[in-house]
Amino acid sequence: MYGSRIIICTPYTVHHTQYIKMNMKKTILLVFGTRPEAIKMAPLVKKLQSLPDQFKTVVAVTGQHRQMLDQVLRIFDIVPDYDLNIMQANQDLYDVTSRVLVGMRDVLKEVQPDVVLVHGDTTTSTAAALAAFYQQIPVGHVEAGLRTGNIYSPWPEEMNRLMTGRIATYHFAPTPLAKSNLVKENVSEERILVTGNTVIDALYMVVDKIKNDAALQSQLRGVLKDAGYDTTRLDGSRRLVLITGHRRENFGDGFISMCTAIRDLAAKYPDVDFVYPMHLNPNVRKPIQQVFGNITQKDIKENTESNLACSNASSLDLKSAQEQALGQPFAQSCTDTQSDSLQKNVSLPKTDENGHADGIGINNNLFFIEPLEYLSFVYLMEQSTIVLTDSGGIQEEAPGLGKPVLVMRDTTERPEALESGTVHLVGTNYDKIVNEVSTLLDDAEAYRKMSQAVNPYGDGLACGRIAEFLKGKIN
């Protein structure tokens, strides 16, 4: 039993719940701060919480990704005991590292956990592991042992993994190859457990939830439509290429090349929809706007509002002006110069017979939509034909749904996917992206080979294995 909960605030905006220990159960503190971490740690939180006789489970989040993190917490019904709330505008790696490190000092002093669990390669994980080390608290590293051999690719993730691995006492490797990487670094095999990846646990939980709830499916279709994509477009023979991109090493010219390839693929394949849920990071959105101009319904609304002042459309209400923008973009409500400028930037969406906005581009089949919470993203991923991404986790998730993955990076810390054939590397090279996507869209045998390859990342039972390991090691 635990005593009353006391809400405490510190100068570092740490919001948390203080517990008074009344027994000798082992305390597990799980720390994460980004959406990918939350997705992969959520099933582990739920597993440990299901074993209250063995563990006291405490959750601390840093808020490194604020909005997207909170979405995942709601989906899995997780209420953090501690929230560092570090997110600030224009923060850099120095800011994130220092805020997590200092904030975790106070959390660790109060909780006094028997072990701290961190995940993967984020700055939150490395800083939290370092904070635990400073108090000589054992660290368990979930998704341990992934390596590219290049500390700048992915950056800073590769170095984060290395540093967290050096600090960790327990290493939960998703694959035998990840274990062998750790053994080569002189980690004792007794401290390593091959578990599979917890993201597959999360994926199967969510897919099962969606498939068995017709009302939820309808809700998710509505969420996607509000975000900018109507999945009823796929009711016939249309196919979908799902795109994500957010890696720091691709900022700048890499993203420009990626966006140019996507634009030209959308022109080449009028019967295929290209859907890109855009990351909130302005370094991601800026090159998209450089290539495509004003691309979302929000952009159209903002431009409509600004152009009301430049025309005899001042008598129009906003709704009719937006409709005009979607149908005959701006030409009737702007000067010729302004209209020409907008038309050069982008072919704006038109409406179909049901009043739904089509995409942009010459075939109206390119959709830049707002970020999706996890349930909606998984639902859309299930509807997709190909996934084009620079994400690490999606390299593991999409093959679990039978979707070929083209990775827009030069290296991957997941070589098992390359060996199994579920993933191909295309980097940010324009020709490689266009050629590989074209092959999968045009060659049925090439598509079959990738889509039916065996996913090497697990069976959905990773969290149970971690819990059993912890029972033996810390009791």
Cβ proximity of 231 and 383 under 8 Å: yes
Angle at alpha carbon of residue 270, lines to 357 and 230, rounded to 5°: 30
Closest CA to 440 of 402, 411, 413, 412: 402
443 is catalytic: no
CA distance 74 to 472: 31
Name the catalytic one among 37, 83, 157, 373: 157
Number of H helices, E strands in the chain: 19, 15
Cβ proximity of 44 and 116 under 8 Å: no
Name the catalytic one among 81, 106, 114, 121: 121
Cβ proximity of 43 and 201 under 8 Å: yes
Closest CA to 397 of 207, 184, 124: 207
Q: Between the CA of residue 402 and those of 209, 249, 266, 395, what are the distances in Å?
A: 18, 28, 23, 11
Q: Pull the structure tokens for residue 475.
A: 């009791």
> Strand 15-18 relative to strand 6-8: parallel, antiparallel, unpaired?
antiparallel
157 is catalytic: yes
Name the catalytic one among 106, 143, 230, 416: 143
15 is catalytic: no
For residue 110, give the 3-state DSSP assignment: helix
Name the catalytic one among 141, 147, 246, 247: 246
246 is catalytic: yes
Name the catalytic one among 65, 279, 409, 414: 279
> Is omega for the bond preceding 138 within 30 degrees of 0, making it cis?
no
248 is catalytic: yes
Name the catalytic one among 191, 248, 356, 465: 248
Task: Tell me the catalytic residues.
Answer: 121, 143, 157, 246, 248, 279
